[in-house]
Structure 1
């Protein structure tokens, strides 16, 4: 194992991005692994930093990972870390792109980790589409692909043939489903990659492929983004040697698969959508109360229709059930007890009543205008549809306005939901 020699410019907490999220977004760490790249390092990192600072909507950190350079690369990396905010430099004493990524990714405190080649051959406009499905929780890993529909690639025939043959071998011999294992433009959720790293043996160029194969065998989601890519004619990569190393890596993985020694550890995926604090407890109670209220309103509507018209029956049934619904949600969904503010809550609940009345009355009016003499079953269907929309808006109004903890006047009333502060905004 390599060990860290030195580190420069590590921020205690990266400054928030000026774009969106108000600094509360998920931190993304971009690693640029380098070995003897003194000619392009400064220009590339400055360009990357300017691009992310100007367009990227999440907080970010750029880490230059120098693995055993013998030229001026490390001194340039130190200078970049000193000059540019949100840039740090890490130096390892041994070569190997996989080794550099393993160290930085394995110790990262970011939510999402990524890397890109220092030549920035991949168009940076693909970076946000690469990161977005990881931030949302839709995917676990994401890769740029030069071999999928929508990509645009400029490179010589030799590298094109080698790349396509290599990826074809992966698909036929190891049943890989991703299209491009070698593109130096990848990202992953940090908790996922840190769980996989102990099972990855390679420390060099096959590191990416081995990580992706492990992820696939573990049933993790790999998102592919078509990229625009222009070959760097001054690339330091020895294509033939790298290809041979990759073939040896494939053979090693194939042996591990045959002997049952190649498999991803169990990884608990977080939900694709993380609910704000308190909402996980509130939603079931609100749903149950909503179902009961809807049934009660429909029963009242049917009974009142025996003695009055559809609009009057709808209004009276909605008034009665709205009062009961507000009282029930006050106690059981939002944990408000006692009588203080009860009258205000009912008055403000009237706004939800007026919304529901407008939606359902408008729906019934449109129904009878479009289909005079519609049956009771059709009327009920229209009511259910209108109430579904009104219910969603009602919940948001109750949570963000009527029963917001900051609006409580105190006095024996507020029982905060799980994960919710009585002094702050439910996030």
Structure 2
């Protein structure tokens, strides 16, 4: 097939003599496995892949005969090229090969070919069509078939649970060596990826997800390579360090995800009559509000033991208001970094004054009706007043405090 079958945004500006797909095989001291892998991959692509392709052997600092095997394969097999990097690191090899490729879609797979090649076309098809931005093979998705030991299964699932708990990742398998990315996406995303080792995949996927890119997952058939040379302990420690680095980057606002989202991200589908981003903001605000209300009621009940209702209300509401503004700043309205934090807190306290007026006024009204109201009645009145105050708070936060950052990056 020719480039005429590609979407216009992929075909435009691409050399029509360039391949549609560039499959990178990163290797380090793989003189034994490299040749059978490349020959099998080449035969499969020639027989089953309907577009022009290239296979790139990315040798990262091998010290055995891997480079010699790679050079021989480039002479014997059309469409096979090789690059040699003087420094070790799978992420470094992938980043170099992808950055210098002229193909429309970039992919990679591990030299052991643990993943069945039948998943390759389903992996890249959504990228060729323009439907998705990245694609990953998943050993944990429904429909996948995996043969591996209990130890590696436990490690893989534990790692993905850690990613979900710390980085709120929604993809199911970060470590499967079977991934693809559109070249236009790679050109903007890869400069933000800092890791040069095994954490490269995870960092790329987390940044892509945070930027609103669409990640397509393909269930794969996967058979564990018993001769794998990955150092599990050192790799796990490096992954944990990478997670901490990303958390710091997100917290400080150092990563320009908003700009990347604006360039490449997929905005939510428009809903007639509903401002963009409003639905997501309401859901996040409601979650923060529910947590704040529970904290407020707990503090009020504790403070009420030794203080009057007005003082207990004031202190509990002030503490939760400060925490609420900080949480909504980050989670609901997507403001990162410390810039403007003090101004936002000051404006939040003014919004707090509105809530204080509503809740204090409700208590005053209650005491005019009955001199000694029961505590459960006080709490019921405060819940109702807080619901009204919460609605007013959201409107003021969206329209005034965070009006310039109304969408989440």
1:76 aligns with 2:98: no
Structure 1 residues 25 and 131: CA distance shift in structure 2, 3 A: farther
Name the counterpart of 1:199.
Answer: 192
Name the counterpart of 1:138.
Answer: 131
1:182 aligns with 2:210: no
1:60 aligns with 2:60: no
The unaligned stretches of length 5 or more in structure 1 are 1-15, 272-427
Name the counterpart of 1:379.
Answer: none
Tell me the TM-score normalized by structure 1: 0.57
Name the counterpart of 1:318.
Answer: none
Q: Tell me how far apart the structure 2 counterparts of residues 55 and 196 of structure 1 sit (CA, whole Å).
A: 30
1:226 aligns with 2:230: no
Name the counterpart of 2:248.
Answer: 255
Q: Tell me how far apart the structure 1 counterparts of residues 204 and 101 of structure 2 sit (CA, whole Å).
A: 17
Q: Where do 1:25-424 residues align within 5 Å?
A: 27-264=20-257, 265-266=259-260, 268-269=263-264
Question: Once superposed, which parts of structure 1, at least 4 consecutive aligned residues long, lie more than 3 Å away?
Answer: 23-26, 267-271
Q: Tell me how far apart the structure 1 counterparts of residues 173 and 142 of structure 2 sit (CA, whole Å).
A: 12
Q: Tell me how far apart the structure 2 counterparts of residues 132 and 82 of structure 1 sit (CA, whole Å).
A: 29
Q: Residues 25 and 58 of structure 1 are in contact (CA less than 8 Å); yes or no, is this contact kept in structure 2?
A: no
Name the counterpart of 1:324.
Answer: none
The unaligned stretches of length 5 or more in structure 2 are 7-15, 267-409
Q: Tell me how far apart the structure 1 counterparts of residues 231 and 204 of structure 2 sit (CA, whole Å).
A: 22
Q: Tell me how far apart the structure 2 counterparts of residues 178 and 47 of structure 1 sit (CA, whole Å).
A: 29
Q: Residues 256 and 262 of structure 1 are in contact (CA less than 8 Å); yes or no, is this contact kept in structure 2?
A: yes
Q: Tell me how far apart the structure 2 counterparts of residues 58 and 249 of structure 1 sit (CA, whole Å).
A: 36
Aligned residues: 253
Alpha-carbon shift at residue 71 of structure 1 (Å)? 0.3
What per-residue deviation string (whole Å, max 9, x for no partner) do you get for residues 194-213 of structure 1? 10111111000000100011
CA root-mean-square deviation: 2.0
> Which has more radius of gyration?
1
Structure 1 residues 125 and 196: CA distance shift in structure 2, 3 A: same
Q: Which has the higher helix share?
A: 2
Tell me the TM-score normalized by structure 2: 0.60
Classify the secondary structure of the residue corresponding to 1:266.
helix
Classify the secondary structure of the residue corresponding to 1:66.
strand
